[in-house]
Amino acid sequence: MTRALPAELLARIVAYLLPSIDAYASTLPHPSGADLEYAPSVPCSTSSDLLSVCLSCSLLRELAQDALYRAPLLRTLKALDLLANTIAADTKPRASPGSGRSASGHRAAMVRAIHLPPGDGPLQPADTLADQNGYKDSLRVLFDHTYELDLIWLEHRQAGAAFLELLHPRTVCRPRRLTLSNLSFSAPPFSSIESLAPLSKLTHLHLIKIVPPPALISFLVGEAIHAEEQGNVPESISKGLSPCGTLECLRLSLLPPDALVEFEAYVAWRRAWKEYEQLDAHEQAQLPAPRAPLGPARRFAVQEALYDLGVRAARLPRLRLMLLELSPLGPLPPPPSLFSTARQSTVSLEAVLEDRRAQVSDQHTFRTSMRTMQHRQEATTDDDGGLGQSETAPMPTREELRTEERDRYWHLIEAGKHALVRLWGESCDELPELRVVCARPNGHDRREGFLDYHCQTAAAAGADVGCWADADVFELVDRSPFLSYRADDLSRAWYWTGELPRSTTRPAGETKLIPSLIPL
């Protein structure tokens, strides 16, 4: 009976079997206005339904197979091994004379996106040591034949098998979208890989817990940024393999929290050092060498990478979006008044701590409480919601003591962002959009990774969905002012948690400020 149905109707039947995916499910905050704790579930697999459809007729088999293999999410090593065995069997010539590939339609060509599990670390319940031992062989089969692979999400551990096998001379795919999540304490060895050709067509690069090393930056911009040895990067650049002409979006996630603190001072030091290096030895002997800003090495490494990218922005003509995700500092404790209220009440302290987040329906309260000033100095007031200590109130209030360090932190981050924008603008004609975005609540764990992978596979051509649609945290001050506020029934006030900034200053000097305490 199914043979008599039009192919378009059968295709619609198969489409209904696929999970419904919200392309913005992993966007933070969600465009619907949900709070920061909104955590949609990962779509359920429909593989069993698609396999059942394959048994109905040859046309449905063809349609269902395409849906089944288009974007597999491999949660276990066993799943990777089974897929590799299928592709290996599919690509072997048939024994009968005159036959080429198997009649299944060369399923390796159907794979357009893939999420790969790490090869080491704890085994999943369905995995065995045999699956782990065959990890590299399975990867090699996959990368040797999936020439239409367009999106790859892989996790790097100390052994680095997935990353090294991807960047291998025999790899046939040239993906446009790559997410590389670092699960080890050391970054992937970009300067010692065998082939950079698989990265030559990148349009979207997402690095999680990875500070781009000089070798990777050189490859991305198509120019050696340091004289020291960088493996085969210079040769790859000379062969035209750099994605400098195709890269559109770059995201650096889980950077140190202070990555942009005093970035303007770092830029000034780099420029002063460059001028110092141009002096002859006699002139250098007469002048003290410029001293780098004080700070931890982790901050220095990130700022070095951002500076090296920024001064070569002109070499990335198609780059239109750069996202920086800083590791979270955690929420501030509730105001001390909440605890004193609890002691005076018959309600237990645990009940006080069971507070609630502000919702989009509450945003009118925050908009009416927001103040706009022409100069940031005006934001320093003597009320509990001010940014600091004023002349008329020399002793800071308890609320100011609770919030002043976090306010100062966000001010430094915004100043660092403005410095990065200026640096980038001085190097190129068309400035890409630079955003500092919300940190993922669970640090890009498996659930968050699976969810974002589904969003990326559901993306229309050129659409910014999933993590690429994250809003700038300073834009959220005006757009969604309620997001970093909580309240409880006893205090009768919204209090600022510090997870997002409560003030933002435009380059022209205008400052918008939300009080840290707002009556309900």
Question: pLDDT grade, residue 94 (50/70/90)?
Answer: low
- What is the Cα–Cα distance from 175 to 461, expressed in whole angstroms? 14
Residue 143: what pLDDT? 95
What pLDDT is recorded for position 256? 96
How far, in Å, are 158, 162, 185, 234, 408 from residue 231 at the CA level? 20, 19, 22, 8, 42
Question: What contacts 423, CB < 8 A, 6 or more positions away?
Answer: 267, 307, 310, 311
Q: Which of 142-151, 390-399, 454-463 has the largest mean confidence? A: 142-151
Predicted confidence band of residue 87 (pLDDT cuts 50, 70, 90) = very high
Q: Is the pLDDT of residue 105 over 70?
A: no
Express as a percent the part of the chain with pLDDT over 90: 50
Mean pLDDT of the chain: 85
In this predicted structure, the answer to whether residue 355 has a pLDDT above a threshold of 80 is no
Q: H or E element: which one contains 226?
A: none
Cα 227 to its chain centre, rounded Å, is: 30
* Residue ranges per structural domain of the chain: 336-428+473-519
Does residue 382 surpass a pLDDT of 90? no
- Which class for 443: exposed (0-12), middle (13-18), buried (19 or more C-beta within 10 A)? middle
d(CA 160, CA 437): 28
Residue 104: pLDDT band by 50, 70, 90 thresholds? very low
pLDDT at residue 352 tops 70: no
Note the pLDDT of residue 102.
47
Q: What is the structure's pLDDT at 462?
A: 65
CA distance 492 to 502: 20
Per residue in 263-295, pLDDT (tens digit) is 999 999 999 988 888 888 888 888 888 888 989
Among 29-43, 51-65, 292-306, 417-431, the least confident range: 51-65
How is residue 156 written in tokens? 């790097």
What would the pLDDT profile of 178-229 be if each residue is shown by its tens digit?
999 988 777 777 877 889 999 999 999 999 999 999 999 999 999 988 767 6
The pLDDT score that the predictor gives to residue 299 is 95
Backbone phi, then psi, for 516, in 5-degree steps? -80, -20
Question: Residue 176 pLDDT more than 90?
Answer: yes
Q: What is the pLDDT of residue 349?
A: 46
pLDDT > 60? residue 117: yes
CB 166 within 8 A of CB 466: no
User: Which two tokens mark 260?
Assistant: 């942009």
Pairing mode, strands 177-182 and 151-156:
parallel
Least confident of 116-125, 197-206, 208-217, 477-486: 116-125
pLDDT band at 97 (very low <50, low <70, confident <90, very high): very low
The answer to whether residues 135 and 123 touch, using CB atoms and an 8 Å cutoff, is: no
Distance of alpha carbon 113 from its chain centroid, rounded?
18
Average pLDDT over residues 36-44: 86
- String of DSSP letters for 117-153: PPSSSSPPTT--HHHHHTHHHHHHHHHHH-TT--EEE
> Which residue is listed with tokens 């579930």?
41
Sheet harboring 151-156: ordered strands across? 113-115, 151-156, 177-182, 204-208, 249-255, 321-326, 433-437
Separation between Cα atoms, residue 347 and residue 159, nearest integer Å: 54
Can you tell me the mean pLDDT for 76-103? 73
Instruction: Please say if the pLDDT value at position 499 is more than 70.
Output: yes
Interval 365-370 mean pLDDT: 91
Q: Quick one: average pLDDT of 420-430?
A: 92
**Strand 511-513 with 371-373, pairing:** antiparallel
